[in-house]
Amino acid sequence: MVWNDVRLIHSQAPLVHNITNYVVMNTTANALLAVGASPVMAHALEEVEEMTALASALVLNIGTLSGPWVEAMVLAGRAAQRKGIPTVLDPVGVGATTFRTRTAQRLLEETGPRLIRGNASEILALANLGGGTKGVDATDPVEGALEAARQLSSRWNCVVTVSGPVDLIVQGERLARIHNGDPIMGRITGMGCTATALMGAFAAVNPDPFRAAVDAMVVLGVAGELAREHSQGPGSFQVALLDQLASLRQEDLERLARIEGLG
Residue closer to a copy of itself by CB (options 16, 259) is 16
* Residue 226 C-beta: closest distance to a copy of itself, Å: 11
# residues contacting a copy of itself (CB under 8 A): 62
Residues 6+ apart with CB under 8 A from 221: 167, 178, 179, 180, 181, 182
| Residue 194 interacting with a copy of itself (CB under 8 A) | no
| Residue 12 interacting with a copy of itself (CB under 8 A) | no
Among 11, 109, 239, 260, binds a copy of itself (CB under 8 A): 239
* Residue 153 C-beta: closest distance to a copy of itself, Å: 27
Site string for a copy of itself, 90-129 (x = CB under 8 A): ---x--xxxxx-----------------------------
| Residue 234 interacting with a copy of itself (CB under 8 A) | yes
| Residue 240 interacting with a copy of itself (CB under 8 A) | yes
* Residue 53 C-beta: closest distance to a copy of itself, Å: 9
Among 4, 11, 66, 250, binds a copy of itself (CB under 8 A): 66
The one segment of 63-71, 78-86, 165-173, 249-257 that binds a copy of itself by CB under 8 A: 63-71
| Residue 165 interacting with a copy of itself (CB under 8 A) | no
* Residue 206 C-beta: closest distance to a copy of itself, Å: 20
Q: Please report the DSSP string for the chain in residue order.
A: -HHHHHHHHHHH--EEEEE--TTTHHHHHHHHHHTT-EEEE---TTTHHHHHHH-SEEEEE-TT--HHHHHHHHHHHHHHHHHT--EEEE-TTBTTBHHHHHHHHHHHHHH--SEEEEEHHHHHHHTT-S---BTTB--S-GGGGHHHHHHHHHHHTSEEEEESSSEEEEETTEEEEE----GGGGGSTTHHHHHHHHHHHHHHH-S-HHHHHHHHHHHHHHHHHHHHTT-SSHHHHHHHHHHHHHT--HHHHHHH--EES--
Which residues are near a copy of itself by CB under 8 A?
13, 15, 21-27, 29-30, 33-34, 38-44, 46-47, 50-51, 54, 63-68, 93, 96-100, 132, 134-137, 187-190, 231-236, 238-247
